[in-house]
């Protein structure tokens, strides 16, 4: 076997589909490990880390993954399924992109929480107006517990 076929995907898309990989380096809870053509079949849960691979032309590429599952089949197929991943050609650029994405996601989360709090406060104000003694509620009958029939 002369090369590995590496496939890295998220639920939304395929990040990498490289049929000419010479070696893969990944990390699980037991530590870092390498894969070369002819590797025994394997299934492992990846830690949040950077997966590295060297193409047949000698170029090294990287993919930061937020955990995932790595499967080796037939000694030449390596599949990685992860929730999120960011691909890069260099570690410095990849680190910067991961940091920017993390900050954007954090800001988006803050905005969503702020909007959720605003809607909650608005609902509480509406309930308080409705429950205020002596308030007239047009079209809202008050149930008195009596028979309807």
Residue 102: strand, helix, or coil:
helix
Cα distance between residue 32 and residue 120, in whole Å: 46
Residue 71 has pLDDT above 90, yes or no: yes
Q: What pLDDT, in 10s, does the model give residues 25-41?
A: 999 999 999 999 999 99
Give the start-to-end residue ranges of the domains of the chain.
4-89, 91-130
Which of residues 135 and 14 earns the better pLDDT score?
14
Note whether 66 and 73 are within 8 A (CB): no
Cα distance between residue 129 and residue 149, in whole Å: 31
Residue 87 has pLDDT above 90, yes or no: no
**Residue with the two structure tokens 């197929």:** 77
**Residue with the two structure tokens 């509406």:** 126
Cα distance between residue 83 and residue 9, in whole Å: 8
Residue 73 has pLDDT above 60, yes or no: yes
Find residue 44's DSSP bridge partners: 70
Class of domain 4-89 as given by CATH: mainly beta
The pLDDT confidence band at residue 121, using thresholds 50, 70 and 90, is confident
pLDDT of residue 89: 79
Cα distance between residue 16 and residue 61, in whole Å: 10
pLDDT of residue 141: 53
Q: Provide mean pLDDT across the span 75-93.
A: 86
Residue 137 has pLDDT above 70, yes or no: no
Query: What are φ and ψ of residue 75, in 5° steps?
Result: 75, -5
Q: How far is CA 82 from the centre of its chain?
A: 7
- Highest averaged pLDDT of the listed ranges 22-26, 83-87, 95-99: 22-26
Q: Which helix (H) or strand (E) holds 93?
A: helix 91-131
């Amino acid at each position: 076997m002369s090369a590995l076929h590496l496939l890295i995907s998220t639920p939304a898309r395929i990040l990498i589909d490289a049929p000419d990989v010479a070696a893969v380096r990944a990390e699980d809870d037991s530590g870092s490990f390498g894969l070369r053509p002819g590797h025994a079949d394997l299934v492992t849960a990846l830690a949040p880390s950077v997966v590295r691979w060297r193409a047949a032309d000698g170029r090294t590429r990287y993919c930061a993954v937020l955990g995932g599952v790595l499967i080796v089949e037939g000694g030449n197929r390596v599949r990685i399924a992860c929730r999120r991943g960011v691909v890069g050609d260099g570690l410095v650029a990849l680190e910067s992109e991961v940091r920017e994405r993390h900050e954007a996601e954090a800001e988006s989360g803050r905005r969503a929480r702020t909007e959720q709090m605003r809607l909650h406060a608005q609902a509480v104000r509406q309930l308080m107006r409705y429950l205020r003694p002596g308030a007239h509620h047009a079209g809202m009958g008050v149930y008195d517990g009596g028979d309807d029939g």
